[in-house]
């Protein structure tokens, strides 16, 4: 970008510069010798390179119908007087805007902005921006920027520092190029800031079931295996348990006793009043009540095992029919008819899935003796998973329920997104980490239980933050600064080649770019490559100037 307009002045005015440094001019100190890359470039560019550059220029001109200007046009004057050189600022003395501020009066000085922590705040005073037209800064930018600055610990600038008033001048566009300086337009890009931690995917504990047999017995059949999808209520296995047979027999007995008691009561209470002593009727009634209670109790005992029935349908039918109806109680019809040919037992009890899901654990084989304490299956619904993250406790204050969470499983390149839904109330005693949880949707089942990875809780996300390449920002000792190209840099060949020093506050920084929360506006042009050269020049000039540089 620096070379898009070619208005080259002599490559090395230093060649005509007298070696003496005792010369004085304008009462300003000129005791400094050139040091660093800048001086090297000015002193030691061999004539060969200049010739080569001119040849290249000629070739360029030929292809673009641009004619090589006369030397006087290049310099902007017929020649540089041999003693016209400002050592301190490395430009011809007659052009030095720092020594002759009238040549190029500095812009307005608004001083320190307390709210944004920069000098000459472009958010509050957009006219300081090096743009042809004063930009309009929307009202909400100011508070947004201040809020983002206070969200996390940021680098601070020194309010008393005067370095922002400095301007760094180059003798020519060519001198800028030779110093290895490149510039870029201040860009807008999405950025985000987060806290991160290691984490692990787990089954959602509210969607995980561990199944066991409610009574001791022997596994009679297993129908499902690990990985099988099951529906709520589906039979996974059948257990042969003696207790089931006992309870069914109890119910049959109770039904028989109830039937008998009912008949007896009906007979006694039906006869003409007075023919049977009232006491006998009362006794019969009591026996009936007791028998009914027995039925209820037997029914309840079966219901406790998940074997439900409507006891009224068992009344008024033959005992053999009752027994037949109870035989495969709780077993689905299609299985019952299959089993009827294989076994005479009435001890079977099904193990059913309590929800839709996937079998994630199976601990049994047919014939195995099982106990209510044994887990036979685990069924999970993996359509939603839990992410458990460990966040350093110092960052706990930044977390809020509902913040977006991104998780990158180890070995995967695709992040999954969820929402923070729980923050532990205690810190791990050993690791000093805080456990937080996010719920992740897993419709395609890609997320697996006990997968490790890295998670990020997103603190802020901005779609159009102001960003610059990270090496644009320099630390001059007490402030973060960038070098902004003057807006009139290319206005004419004579316009001074100036870069303004601007203090900035930085935000997010990743992938080689750094967010500028305050100090720059979009569209400004900043020094990227070679910003360290300008910093060196700035520090060189600042020495002895009573500046704050450490």
- Cα 12 to the center of its chain, rounded Å: 52
Task: Check residue 96 for interaction with Zn ion (CB under 5 A).
Answer: yes
Nearest Cα neighbor of 541 from 85, 32, 171 is: 32
Contacts with 98 (C-beta within 8 Å, 6 or more apart), sequence order: 86, 88, 89, 166, 167, 169, 541
Residue linked to tokens 């257990």? 239
The region of 55-63, 155-163, 391-399, 435-443 touching Zn ion under the rule CB under 5 A is 155-163
Under 8 Å between Cβ of 457 and 400: no
- Cα 23 to the center of its chain, rounded Å: 61
Closest to Zn ion by CB, 99 or 239: 99
Nearest Cα neighbor of 21 from 38, 37, 39, 33 is: 33
Under 8 Å between Cβ of 264 and 285: no
Nearest 10 degrees: CA dihedral of 282, 284, 289, 292?
Answer: -170
Task: Check residue 162 for interaction with Zn ion (CB under 5 A).
Answer: no
- Scanning 65-172, the segments in alpha helix (DSSP H) are 71-75, 139-151
Give least dist CB 136 to Zn ion, A.
15
**Beta strands across the sheet bearing 377-380:** 208-211, 377-380, 357-362, 229-230
Select the residue interacting with Zn ion from 113, 305, 376, 468 (CB under 5 A).
113
Closest to Zn ion by CB, 9 or 123: 123
Give least dist CB 535 to Zn ion, A.
11
Cα–Cα dist 267/284, whole Å: 10
The region of 154-162, 201-209, 231-239, 373-381 touching Zn ion under the rule CB under 5 A is 154-162
Select the residue interacting with Zn ion from 16, 57, 76, 124 (CB under 5 A).
124
Give least dist CB 500 to Zn ion, A.
14
Cα–Cα dist 450/202, whole Å: 5
Task: Check residue 158 for interaction with Zn ion (CB under 5 A).
Answer: yes
Q: 475-494: which residues touch Zn ion (CB under 5 A)?
A: 478-479
Give least dist CB 72 to Zn ion, A.
24
Select the residue interacting with Zn ion from 30, 45, 85, 89 (CB under 5 A).
89
Select the residue interacting with Zn ion from 86, 219, 291, 370 (CB under 5 A).
86
Q: 239-268: which residues touch Zn ion (CB under 5 A)?
A: none
Select the residue interacting with Zn ion from 8, 12, 39, 99 (CB under 5 A).
99
Under 8 Å between Cβ of 537 and 40: no
Task: Check residue 163 for interaction with Zn ion (CB under 5 A).
Answer: yes
The region of 54-62, 126-134, 163-171, 188-196 touching Zn ion under the rule CB under 5 A is 163-171
Give least dist CB 444 to Zn ion, A.
48
Q: Six-digit token pair at 452?
A: 């490790």
Give least dist CB 166 to Zn ion, A.
10
Nearest Cα neighbor of 176 from 34, 80, 37, 31 is: 37
Give least dist CB 183 to Zn ion, A.
22
How big is the site for Zn ion, counted in residues (CB under 5 A)? 18
Closest to Zn ion by CB, 349 or 479: 479
Give least dist CB 33 to Zn ion, A.
15
Task: Check residue 161 for interaction with Zn ion (CB under 5 A).
Answer: yes
Closest to Zn ion by CB, 29 or 372: 29
Select the residue interacting with Zn ion from 45, 123, 181, 211 (CB under 5 A).
123
Give least dist CB 122 to Zn ion, A.
8
Task: Check residue 121 for interaction with Zn ion (CB under 5 A).
Answer: yes
The region of 53-61, 148-156, 158-166, 482-490 touching Zn ion under the rule CB under 5 A is 158-166
Give least dist CB 63 to Zn ion, A.
38
Give least dist CB 547 to Zn ion, A.
7
Task: Check residue 168 for interaction with Zn ion (CB under 5 A).
Answer: no
Task: Check residue 14 for interaction with Zn ion (CB under 5 A).
Answer: no
Closest to Zn ion by CB, 171 or 288: 171
The region of 98-106, 257-265, 350-358, 363-371 touching Zn ion under the rule CB under 5 A is 98-106
- Scanning 271-330, the segments in alpha helix (DSSP H) are 278-304, 319-327
Under 8 Å between Cβ of 222 and 362: yes
Task: Check residue 516 for interaction with Zn ion (CB under 5 A).
Answer: no
Closest to Zn ion by CB, 96 or 326: 96
Cα–Cα dist 119/136, whole Å: 19
Strand 235-240 to 183-185 pairing:
unpaired
Closest to Zn ion by CB, 105 or 316: 105
Residue linked to tokens 């030779």? 178
Give least dist CB 411 to Zn ion, A.
46
Contacts with 244 (C-beta within 8 Å, 6 or more apart), sequence order: 215, 217, 302, 305, 307, 346, 347, 348, 349
Map residues 443-482 to x or -, x wherever contact with Zn ion holds by CB under 5 A: -----------------------------------xx---
Give least dist CB 162 to Zn ion, A.
8
Q: 201-220: which residues touch Zn ion (CB under 5 A)?
A: none
Give least dist CB 146 to Zn ion, A.
8
Contacts with 64 (C-beta within 8 Å, 6 or more apart), sequence order: none
> CA–CA distance from 538 to each of 24, 110, 117, 199, 532 (Å)?
22, 21, 21, 46, 10
Under 8 Å between Cβ of 253 and 245: no
Buried b (16+ CB within 10 A) or exposed e, 309-339: bebeebeeeeeeebeeebbbbbbeeebeeeb
Residues that bind Zn ion (CB under 5 A): 86, 88-89, 96, 98-99, 113, 115-116, 121, 123-124, 158, 161, 163, 478-479, 548
């Amino acid at each position: 970008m620096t070379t898009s307009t070619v208005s080259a002045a002599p490559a090395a005015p230093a060649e005509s510069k007298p070696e003496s440094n005792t010369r004085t001019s304008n009462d300003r100190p000129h005791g400094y010798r050139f040091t660093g890359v800048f001086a090297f470039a000015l002193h030691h560019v061999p004539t060969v390179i200049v010739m080569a550059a001119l040849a290249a220029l000629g070739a360029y001109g030929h292809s673009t119908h641009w004619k090589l200007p006369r030397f006087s046009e290049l310099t902007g004057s017929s020649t540089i007087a041999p003693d016209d050189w400002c050592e301190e600022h490395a430009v011809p003395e007659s052009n030095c805007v720092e020594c002759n501020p009238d040549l190029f009066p500095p812009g307005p000085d608004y001083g320190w902005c307390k709210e944004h922590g920069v000098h000459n705040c472009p958010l509050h005073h957009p006219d300081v921006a090096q743009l042809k037209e004063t930009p309009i800064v929307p009202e909400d930018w100011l508070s947004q920027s201040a809020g983002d600055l206070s969200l996390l610990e940021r680098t601070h600038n020194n309010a008393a520092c005067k370095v922002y008033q400095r301007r760094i001048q180059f003798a020519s566009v060519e001198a800028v190029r030779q110093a290895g300086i490149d510039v870029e337009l201040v860009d807008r890009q999405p950025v985000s800031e987060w806290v991160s931690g290691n984490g692990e995917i787990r089954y959602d504990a509210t969607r995980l079931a561990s199944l066991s047999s409610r009574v001791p017995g022997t596994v009679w059949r297993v129908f499902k295996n690990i990985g099988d999808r099951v529906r709520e209520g589906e039979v996974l296995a059948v257990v042969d348990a003696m207790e089931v047979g006992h309870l069914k027999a109890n119910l049959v007995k109770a039904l028989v006793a109830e039937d008998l008691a009912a008949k007896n009561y009906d007979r006694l209470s039906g006869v003409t009043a007075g023919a049977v002593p009232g006491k006998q009727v009362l006794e019969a009634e009591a026996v009936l009540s007791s028998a009914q209670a027995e039925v209820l109790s037997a029914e309840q005992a079966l219901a406790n095992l998940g074997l439900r029935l409507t006891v009224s349908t068992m009344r008024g039918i033959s005992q053999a029919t009752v027994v037949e109806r109870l035989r495969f109680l709780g077993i689905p019809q299609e299985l019952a008819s299959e089993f009827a040919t294989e076994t005479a037992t009435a001890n079977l009890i099904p193990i059913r899935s309590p929800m839709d899901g996937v079998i994630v654990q199976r601990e049994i084989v047919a014939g195995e003796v099982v106990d209510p304490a044994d887990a036979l299956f685990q069924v999970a619904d993996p359509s939603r998973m839990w992410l458990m993250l460990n966040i350093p406790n110092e960052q706990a204050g930044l977390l809020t329920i509902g913040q977006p969470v991104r998780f990158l499983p180890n070995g995967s390149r695709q992040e999954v997104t969820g929402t923070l839904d729980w923050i532990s109330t205690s810190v791990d005693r050993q690791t000093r980490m805080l456990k937080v949880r996010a719920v992740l949707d897993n419709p395609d089942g890609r997320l697996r239980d006990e997968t490790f990875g890295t998670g990020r809780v997103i603190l802020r996300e901005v779609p159009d933050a102001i960003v610059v390449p990270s090496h644009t920002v320099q630390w001059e000792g007490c402030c973060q600064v960038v070098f902004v190209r003057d807006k009139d840099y290319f206005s004419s060949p004579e316009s001074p080649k100036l870069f303004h020093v601007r203090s900035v506050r930085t935000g997010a920084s990743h992938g080689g770019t750094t967010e500028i929360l305050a100090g720059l506006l979009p569209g400004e042009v900043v020094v990227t490559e070679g910003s360290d050269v300008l910093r060196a020049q700035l520090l060189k000039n600042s020495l002895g100037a009573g500046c704050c540089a450490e």
